Structure 1
């Protein structure tokens, strides 16, 4: 885990240069597609389709979610675009479509330029691991293992034979995560002590690493692996877990203990990723430091135009952080702020499009981001101090 935050001021030239350079990657044939696995931070519509099969309706499928998409909810857990959307735009690729949709065989043509297996609410660990520990997923059983199985099953239709599929995978930018946050969210927000939840961290990280190893075995050459966000800054966590007995960061107002928990996950993940790099020096594996990219905003919200602060949710209920556990964004009784672009938090858990835009720039417009081309084996990329 890097200790220093990202300097955007010193990277003004790099923002322009990297944008121009990375926009040429697709034209140069470095990446033909983005393949994504994860949870609600990357889901572009998979949970919405899964829910429609069982006639379920979650508030995240209702307005004002997706209001920046011409008032049409897309299944994204925000008011607009996500980090994966900004990354696709930066690389000159179409927005990555959800794997689960109703267009039949036409999907397979579309998927040659990108396919997203991420599902909102998904955990890294399978229910068979979580449920004996009293952790039940109320939204979906589409764990990381399930998403990887979908990917394997879809390959013959997308790319044909094994040789062509290895080429397809090798020329794709693969995002593995963010995933694992819900493995911790469910028990912690339901009142389980953090000390008991910590035992899950090695299991979650090992599951992520196992998935990465399988993808490498299938031909992956470039993988981006995000860490977890600073959950101690989440409006929902601040509402449910905050108390006079908790320590708050005097600069940000975030819960120190919860952010330390996120850092524990991220440090272990980085340690394991280094081991994979050592075993596969011909593969580019980049750690995307969501934690510090977000902390830059929490430390300096006004610098990025978040004049309504970094901690209060835009959409939700009443309370100090505009979060009421009995009122969810998307429900009739919920309230919505007038200027979402001046808020970091959208619904208490997820962030606004404006926040995701800044985080995307923090991640992909830095000195470390000077090689995302799968034909390069220099090992320089998102790892390190991002």
Structure 2
């Protein structure tokens, strides 16, 4: 499994799970109660994250025994952490907003189910555990998927056939959320991210093309972005449906396409000089991306200042871009329903 992609239907089959326990319990007062989200004074946020490499805090490296070296992690951690980034991911900034520790990676969903079952078993025996039954129910389950799945499809199929693959993918997601692992196991609070602006990835832009007719005014590929928008529209509708069908549950859908496309379209506003060029890659301008030579290749070139770049390795964002994206998520302006990210906790 490469940094550029992972197996399709990641959520349903090879979930990366991370658990965060609050070490500093500073949660701002809740807004008006909405749906299943609730908070009480002195409450402790609990977050479980399911996602692909965009929110992987080290699961792929652990599962595959993959050695990840510098420059990964150079901007913040100053050493590799298993993240495909020069520093923090979007999920890291979201955790910071709750004053909780960064997420620790687990390998697969079965580890989550074992952890939960074992915790409840110990509670029944009168022992203390990091999370109790109410904690599992009140926790926020974040789901960040789609980019690798749609990316892989677009690499091998024409647009119409890619769109035709959306219904079964969405059906798998619905089954995973509603029946297979989450809701039927007591989960009630879900925060689901759509896919990003795939047509703005240097990985895709570096593919040879006959002409420039598929490029939009910002230099992104219209076909890839059209597929991302179509997928997100279907995913958003699915989230609306789940909000109706799942009793006492809240499902928040966040449009990451709009957020990530704005990183390119409004790059100057955020201080980015090279919105379509990879910071860590090979080949030089305009994209500095070569499919055969990743950021981890010995002859890869690395930019001096990652804060001037949107893309870290051609697929994943730099820490600077992740910070902007996280701020947009926290604003709730791109979410439906418009619920603040901190409007949940462990009672």
Normalised by the length of structure 2, the TM-score is 0.79
Q: Are the aligned partners of 2:199 and 2:220 in contact in 1 as well (CA < 8 Å)? A: yes
Q: Are the aligned partners of 1:317 and 1:328 in contact in 2 as well (CA < 8 Å)? A: yes
Whether 1:38 aligns to 2:3 is no
Match of 2:225 among 236, 241, 259: 259
The offset of 1:282, in angstroms, is 2.1
Higher strand share: 2
Gaps of 5+ in 2: 1-25, 31-38, 125-130
The offset of 1:24, in angstroms, is 5.1
Structural mapping, 1:336-347, within 5 Å: 336-347=302-313
Q: CA RMSD in A?
A: 2.6
Residue of structure 2 in register with 1:198 after alignment:
163
Q: Residues 203, 31 of structure 1: CA spacing in aligned structure 2 closer, same or farther, 3 A cutoff? A: farther
The offset of 1:32, in angstroms, is 3.2
Whether 1:226 aligns to 2:189 is no
Match of 1:47 among 54, 60, 70: 60
Choose 213-222 or 357-366, whichever is displaced more.
Answer: 213-222
Match of 1:350 among 313, 316, 321: 316
The 3-state SS of whatever aligns with 2:191 is strand
Structural mapping, 1:137-286, within 5 Å: 147-160=108-121, 166-176=133-143, 178-189=144-155, 191-214=156-179, 215-240=182-207, 242-244=209-211, 246-250=213-217, 252-280=218-246, 282-286=248-252
Q: Deviations over 1:288-322 (max 9, x none)?
A: 2111111221111010111x221111010115211
Q: Deviations over 1:97-120 (max 9, x none)?
A: 1124xxxxxxxxxxxxxxxxxxxx
Residue of structure 1 in register with 2:74 after alignment:
67
Residue of structure 1 in register with 2:98 after alignment:
91
The 3-state SS of whatever aligns with 2:49 is strand
The offset of 1:71, in angstroms, is 2.7
Q: Residues 370, 45 of structure 1: CA spacing in aligned structure 2 closer, same or farther, 3 A cutoff? A: closer
Q: Are the aligned partners of 1:34 and 1:174 in contact in 2 as well (CA < 8 Å)? A: yes
Q: Distance in 1 between matches of 2:102 and 2:344?
A: 20
Choose 73-82 or 205-214, whichever is displaced more.
Answer: 205-214
The 3-state SS of whatever aligns with 1:62 is coil
Q: Residues 89, 159 of structure 1: CA spacing in aligned structure 2 closer, same or farther, 3 A cutoff? A: farther
Q: Are the aligned partners of 1:45 and 1:75 in contact in 2 as well (CA < 8 Å)? A: yes
Q: Residues 248, 153 of structure 1: CA spacing in aligned structure 2 closer, same or farther, 3 A cutoff? A: same
Q: Are the aligned partners of 1:345 and 1:352 in contact in 2 as well (CA < 8 Å)? A: yes
Q: Deviations over 1:239-287 (max 9, x none)?
A: 126441642111x111111101001110111111111111135211101
Q: Residues 243, 29 of structure 1: CA spacing in aligned structure 2 closer, same or farther, 3 A cutoff? A: farther
Q: Are the aligned partners of 2:98 and 2:342 in contact in 1 as well (CA < 8 Å)? A: no
Higher helix share: 1
Gaps of 5+ in 1: 1-20, 101-146, 376-386
